């Protein structure tokens, strides 16, 4: 069954895809494990943001395409640690 554009997938579908890809190809949403962010203890990239200290000062730009669950997961795996969530205005 084809979904209309911009319709979020149910969480169970996304988690199922993650599990299948990890078991069969060691990837998550097509991102290979070799591309997962790995911090280097010799370099501290953390920044102070209020009362928190994220490990890296990068994150996805806030926009409708970044507010999808799979994009949060991919951004985190790629090293993003700062996320700005927007509310949808109708």
Say if CB 65 and CB 9 are below 8 A apart: no
Rounded Cα gap, residues 6 and 22, in angstroms: 25
Domain extent for 26: 11-77
Residue 89, domain member (yes or no): no
Residue 1, domain member (yes or no): no
What is the number of domains present in the chain?
1
Residue 33, domain member (yes or no): yes
Residue 35, domain member (yes or no): yes
The model's pTM is: 0.80
Say if CB 16 and CB 22 are below 8 A apart: no
Does residue 87 register a pLDDT over 80?
no
Rounded Cα gap, residues 24 and 14, in angstroms: 15
Residue 37, domain member (yes or no): yes
Q: pLDDT (tens digit, 9 = 90+) per residue, 9-59?
A: 899 999 999 999 999 999 999 999 999 999 998 998 998 888 888 999 888
pLDDT band at 86 (very low <50, low <70, confident <90, very high): confident
- Predicted local confidence at residue 28, as pLDDT: 98
């Amino acid at each position: 069954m084809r979904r209309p554009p911009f319709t979020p997938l149910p969480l169970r579908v996304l988690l199922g895809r993650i599990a299948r890809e990890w078991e069969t190809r060691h990837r998550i949403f097509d991102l290979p494990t070799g591309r997962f962010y790995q911090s280097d203890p010799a370099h501290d990239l953390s920044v102070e943001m209020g009362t928190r200290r994220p490990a890296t000062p990068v994150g996805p730009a806030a926009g409708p395409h970044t507010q999808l669950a799979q994009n949060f997961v991919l951004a985190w795996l790629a090293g993003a640690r700062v996320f700005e969530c927007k509310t949808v205005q109708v």
